[in-house]
Amino acid sequence: MRGEMTSAVRNTLRLEALLVLAVCVAAYQHLHLGWGRFALCFLLPDLSFAGYLLGKKAGALCYNLAHSYAGPALCGLLFILGGNVAWLMAALIWSAHIGFDRALGYGLKYATDFTDTHLGRLKGKRR
């Protein structure tokens, strides 16, 4: 079964993503940060869909840059180094968004098609 993801692995990754979402929301609540900001910023990574206007390859690149945990990790590091709570808020909201998307099955994209993801083909979607 080379190159294909089993449903057990896919489900494990989706459960892991749900846990990321839950931990980020719990941390945000624990820190008493503003829920209005959370709501306003939660869908910001989805602006990366605009990359698909330039084609599948550019779209996948833009989407993957906005839906990789590298960005939130960098925000977390900037918070640790500088202490500005805005970086922590960004890291938590951004990670929560990624966790939410991946829990729903929206994984990182391949350039072949929007429906081809690292979590498998999006269900109900045909090329």
Could you tell me the residue ranges of all domains in the chain? 7-109
Q: What is the pLDDT of residue 126?
A: 52
List the Cα angle 98/123/47 in 5-degree steps.
35
Quick: pLDDT tens for 23-34: 999 999 999 999
Q: Point out which residues pair with 116 in neighbouring strands.
A: 121
Quick: pLDDT tens for 94-103: 999 999 999 9
